[in-house]
Amino acid sequence: MSAFLFVTPTWDGDQWANEMKKALPRHDIRKWPAIGETADVRYAAAWLPPPNVLRELPNLKVIFSLGAGVDAILSDPTLPDNIPIVRVNSPDLTMRMSEHIVMHVLMHHRQQARILANQRNKTWDSFPQHAASALRVGVMGLGVLGEDAAKKLAMLGFQVAGWSRSRKSIYGVQSFAGAEELDAFLTRTDILVCLLPATAETDGLINRAVIKKLAHNGPLGAPVLINAGRGRQQVEADILAALESGELLAVSLDVFGKEPLPNDSPFWSHPRVYLTPHSAADSEPSVICTYVAQAITQFEKTGQLDNLVDRTRGY
């Protein structure tokens, strides 16, 4: 008996379990806390696993993340250290994220909030609009998601740069690398897009000092922030203060320090905040279960795993 176990206490797992049964018909699909015989479990998918659950699976071979980020797995202090972790790298998820980023860049660039307000007020105001080529977009994180979004923005004509740990060579995208090039990246950026993983190094990175370094001489008059990485990366009080002081024109936030966002958060009603409920790039169960099943088939045939997480980097 080989079992696949979902350890996803904060998710409604029924749809996932049903899709995984279709994708992995020869495995017994189980859902924590109904683990059954622990020795049967060869594979697990985890998101915020309770302590010791994964550690106590003696024959566990691979841990799967059901999303691109793995912070919700690495946060388990009892995570067994010798088990490989595979994360999602799927064209479906990547396309969803690029749609979200392109849509929000365009909404700020084309001043969609102003257009909607004019419509509500029955105001015929065809104000001047600048070209995409006048705007400098900076994408923090040029991994699977950041690279795709950056390329699509470059195709639309924006001046695009990216910031990552290592140097990149992406057609149409200027590369900035490492902490020493962060300031140069920020000072040339009108719209800052964050697609970084949550790690000790990126926690709190989007703070008042970083916001102050963004370009303030662009066509929008003040910079814009779009964060679809993780809430841990943003200092929310600093973002609100920067919106008030004019250091930020507007923000699009998909991720928050506390999710769901509490009812009393000022972000809900702020007129210059575009808010989405961590839905920039959903993991579609049928797509991700097929992806996981293909990874298991390859692993059982060849011993090879792709899209492995480097635990020392934290992503």
Summarize as ranges the residues that interact with ligand GLV (CB under 6 A): 67-69, 88, 283
Interaction of residue 49 with ligand NAP, rule CB under 6 A? no
CA distance 150 to 142: 8
20 or 255: CB nearest ligand GLV: 255
Query: Would residue 167 show up in a list of annotated catalytic residues for this protein?
Result: no
Q: What does the per-residue mask of binding to ligand NAP show for 164-183, with x meaning CB under 6 A? A: xxx-----------------
Position with the least CB separation from ligand NAP: 143
CB of 151 to ligand NAP, least distance (A): 13
Q: How far apart are CA 111 and CA 64, in angstroms?
A: 40
Backbone angles phi, psi at 14, to 5 degrees: -60, -45
Please name the residue that has the structure tokens 């994360």.
87
- Of 189 and 283, which CB lies nearer to ligand GLV in the complex structure? 283
**Given candidates 67, 218, 223, 285, which one binds ligand NAP under the rule CB under 6 A?**
67
Contact map string, positions 1 to 40, toward ligand NAP, x by CB under 6 A? ----------------------------------------
Q: Does residue 202 belong to the site contacting ligand NAP (CB under 6 A)? A: yes
Q: Which residue matches tokens 């609100």?
A: 240
Length of the chain: 315
> Which listed residue (13, 49, 138, 197) binds ligand NAP by CB under 6 A?
197
Task: State the minimum distance, in angstroms, from the CB of residue 46 to ligand NAP.
Answer: 15
Q: Which residue number, 270 or 278, has a Cβ lying nearer to ligand GLV?
A: 278
- Distance between CA atoms of 302 and 289, rounded to whole angstroms? 20
188 carries an active-site annotation: no
Q: Which residue in the shown chain puts its C-beta closest to ligand GLV? A: 67
| Tokens of residue 9, six digits | 């206490």
Pairwise CA distance, residues 216 & 85, whole Å: 42
Stretch of 73-81, 141-149, 241-249, 292-300 lying at the interface with ligand NAP (CB under 6 A): 141-149
CA separation for the pair 288, 9 (Å, rounded): 18
Contact residue for ligand NAP among 23, 45, 198, 214 (CB under 6 A): 198
**CA separation for the pair 292, 210 (Å, rounded):** 38
CB of 84 to ligand GLV, least distance (A): 18
Residue 198 contact partner, candidates ligand GLV, ligand NAP, none, CB within 5 to 8 A by sort of partner: ligand NAP
Subset of 234-263 contacting ligand NAP (CB under 6 A): 254-255
Which of 46, 85, 102, 196 is close enough to bind ligand NAP by CB under 6 A?
A: 196
Q: Look at residue 144 and give the partner it binds from ligand GLV, ligand NAP, none, a contact being a CB closer than 5 to 8 Å depending on partner kind.
A: ligand NAP
- 259, 280 in Cβ contact below 8 A? no
Report the catalytic residues. 230, 278
